[in-house]
C-alpha cells in the first residue's frame, strides 16, 4: 500500500471513529424505518452517524438491513429491559436516542392497559440511559395528540392534558416520567403520520393509501365528519427529529422541549378523503359523511385534537407541508415505486 493510500485509509478510520452514535428504538416500525434511512443518507452514500436500532419480536427485514448497511440491530424487550446490556456492549452510549416504540392502537391499549403502560412509559429505557456516567444523551420521545381531551380546536403545549382513553393516559404518564427523570429530552406530540410506504412494508394500513384504495373501487365509503386532527407528512416529522439531533450535536446545549408536531391543517376524515379524491380525480359523491358516534370502536376517541404548531415553527424554523401537498407527494412517489 502506497503512502497516499495509507493516508486515505487513516482519514477514513478517523471519520468512522468520530461518528456520532444514534439509536432508534422501534426501528422496524413505520416512522422508525423512515428515520433510519434519513439518518443513513447524506447524499453521497456515507452515513454521518453510527446507527443502531431495536426490534421486539420479528427479525429485522432484509430490505431494511440492505438499505442501511453497517447498522446494528438489537432485540429489545421494553417491559423488562432485556437487550440493553447487549446494546451497551456492542454499540456503547448513543449521543441521541429516538424512541418510536409504542402500543399505539388505542383499542389494544384498552384491552390490555398493563401491557400498554409497560411499553409506552419508557422506564427501562430511561434507567438504561441513567446507567452511563456521562449524561450526554438526548432522548427524543414520540408522544401523541391523544393526550388532549378534544373539546376545542388548536391545542397548545401548555394546555392541560385530559386524555379520554388508556392510550392517551399512558402517553401522559410517559411524558411525566421523562420530564421528571431526564435532563436532556424532546417530547414530540405527533398527530396522524402519513406518507410513502417503508422500504420493508409495515403490516398496518397507511392513511392515504387506505383512503386511495377504498375510493378507487367507486363505491360509497363512510368517513367521519366530526373528528378533527392535524395529520403530519412523515418526511416533515423526520426533518424535525434530524433538526433536533443536529442542534444537540452541534451546540451541545441541554434541551428540555415539548412540541406539538402536527401538520398545518385541521381536518376531518371527510376532508382528508376529499383531498385524496381531488388529487386522483375520483367522484367525491362516493364519500359518505357520518358521525364518529355512529361507530363503536371499542374505545373513546377525542373529537377535536387539532394542534397549534406555532412553537414548532418558531423553535426549529420548520413549516410542515399542507395536507393537500402531502397527499400529492405521497401518491406521486407511490406511483414511481
Is 319 a member of any domain? yes
Residue 42's pLDDT is 60
Lateral strand order in the sheet of 185-190: 72-75, 49-55, 20-25, 96-99, 138-144, 185-190, 256-261
Is 12 a member of any domain? no
Strand partners, 229: 267
What CATH number does the domain containing 139 carry? 3.40.50.720
Yes or no: say if 244 and 312 are a contact pair by the CB < 8 Å rule.
no
Please state, in angstroms and rounded to a whole number, the distance separating the CA atoms of residues 133 and 33: 30
Widest CA span in the chain? 76
Residue 45's pLDDT is 59
Q: What one-character-per-residue DSSP string does 295-314 give?
A: S--SS---SB--B--HHHHH
Number of H helices and E strands in the chain, helices first, is 13, 13
Q: Cell for 97?
A: 436516542
Residue 239's pLDDT is 97
Instruction: Render each residue's pLDDT in the chain as its tens digit; 337 residues.
Output: 555 554 444 444 433 445 899 999 999 999 999 999 999 986 455 678 999 999 998 789 999 999 999 999 999 999 999 999 999 999 999 999 999 999 999 999 999 999 999 999 999 999 999 999 988 899 999 999 999 999 999 999 999 999 999 999 999 999 999 999 999 999 999 999 999 999 999 988 999 999 999 999 999 999 999 999 999 999 999 999 999 999 999 999 999 999 999 999 999 999 999 999 999 999 999 999 999 999 888 999 999 999 999 999 999 999 999 999 999 999 999 888 7
Yes or no: say if 79 and 123 are a contact pair by the CB < 8 Å rule.
no
Yes or no: say if 255 and 185 are a contact pair by the CB < 8 Å rule.
yes
Cell 411499553 sits at which residue?
A: 119
Is 14 a member of any domain? no
Look up residue 209 and give its DSSP letter: H
Please state, in angstroms and rounded to a whole number, the distance separating the CA atoms of residues 210 and 136: 41
Please state, in angstroms and rounded to a whole number, the distance separating the CA atoms of residues 131 and 301: 38
Q: How many CB atoms lie within 10 A of CB 11?
A: 10
Nearest to residue 258, comparing CAs of 323, 317, 176? 176
Yes or no: say if 160 and 153 are a contact pair by the CB < 8 Å rule.
no
Is 78 a member of any domain? yes
Q: Phi first, then psi: what are they for 326, rounded to 5°?
A: -65, -40
Residue 11's pLDDT is 42
Is 308 a member of any domain? yes
Residue 9's pLDDT is 45
Please state, in angstroms and rounded to a whole number, the distance separating the CA atoms of residues 112 and 109: 5
Residue 317's pLDDT is 97
User: How many Å is the Cα radius of gyration of the chain?
Assistant: 21
Residue 44's pLDDT is 57
Is 275 a member of any domain? no
Is 51 a member of any domain? yes
Give me the domain span that covers residue 43. 20-204+231-266+304-325
Tally the domains of the chain: 1
Is 129 a member of any domain? yes
Residue 171's pLDDT is 98
Please state, in angstroms and rounded to a whole number, the distance separating the CA atoms of residues 74 and 266: 38
Amino acid at each position: 500500500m502506497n503512502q497516499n493510500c495509507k493516508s486515505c485509509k487513516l482519514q477514513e478510520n478517523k471519520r468512522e471513529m468520530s461518528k456520532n452514535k444514534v439509536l432508534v428504538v422501534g426501528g422496524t416500525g413505520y416512522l422508525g424505518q423512515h428515520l433510519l434511512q434519513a439518518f443513513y443518507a447524506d447524499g453521497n452514500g456515507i452515513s454521518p452517524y453510527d446507527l443502531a436500532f431495536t426490534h421486539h419480536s420479528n427479525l429485522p427485514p432484509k430490505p431494511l438491513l440492505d438499505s442501511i448497511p453497517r447498522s446494528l440491530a438489537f432485540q429489545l424487550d421494553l417491559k423488562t429491559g432485556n437487550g440493553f446490556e447487549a446494546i451497551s456492549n456492542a454499540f456503547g452510549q448513543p449521543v441521541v436516542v429516538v424512541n418510536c416504540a409504542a402500543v399505539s392502537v388505542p383499542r389494544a391499549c384498552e384491552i390490555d392497559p398493563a401491557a400498554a403502560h409497560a411499553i409506552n412509559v419508557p422506564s427501562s429505557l430511561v434507567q438504561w440511559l441513567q446507567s452511563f456516567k456521562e449524561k450526554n444523551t438526548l432522548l427524543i420521545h414520540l408522544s401523541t395528540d391523544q393526550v388532549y381531551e378534544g373539546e376545542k380546536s388548536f391545542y397548545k403545549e401548555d394546555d392541560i392534558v385530559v386524555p379520554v382513553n388508556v392510550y392517551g393516559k399512558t402517553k401522559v404518564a410517559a411524558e411525566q416520567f421523562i420530564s421528571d427523570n431526564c435532563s436532556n429530552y424532546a417530547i414530540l406530540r405527533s398527530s396522524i403520520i402519513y406518507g410513502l410506504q417503508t422500504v420493508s412494508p409495515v403490516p398496518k394500513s397507511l392513511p392515504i393509501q387506505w383512503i386511495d384504495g377504498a375510493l378507487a373501487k367507486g363505491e360509497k365509503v363512510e368517513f367521519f365528519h366530526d373528528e378533527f386532527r392535524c395529520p403530519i407528512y412523515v418526511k416533515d416529522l423526520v426533518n424535525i427529529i434530524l433538526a433536533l439531533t443536529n442542534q444537540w450535536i452541534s451546540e451541545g446545549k441541554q434541551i428540555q422541549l415539548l412540541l406539538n408536531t402536527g401538520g398545518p391543517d385541521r381536518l376531518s376524515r371527510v376532508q382528508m378523503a376529499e383531498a385524496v379524491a381531488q388529487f386522483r380525480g375520483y367522484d367525491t359523491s362516493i364519500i359518505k359523511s357520518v358521525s364518529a358516534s355512529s361507530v363503536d370502536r371499542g374505545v373513546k376517541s377525542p373529537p377535536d385534537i387539532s394542534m397549534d404548531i406555532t412553537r414548532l415553527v418558531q423553535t426549529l424554523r420548520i413549516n410542515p407541508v399542507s395536507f393537500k401537498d402531502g397527499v400529492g407527494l405521497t401518491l406521486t412517489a407511490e406511483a414511481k415505486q
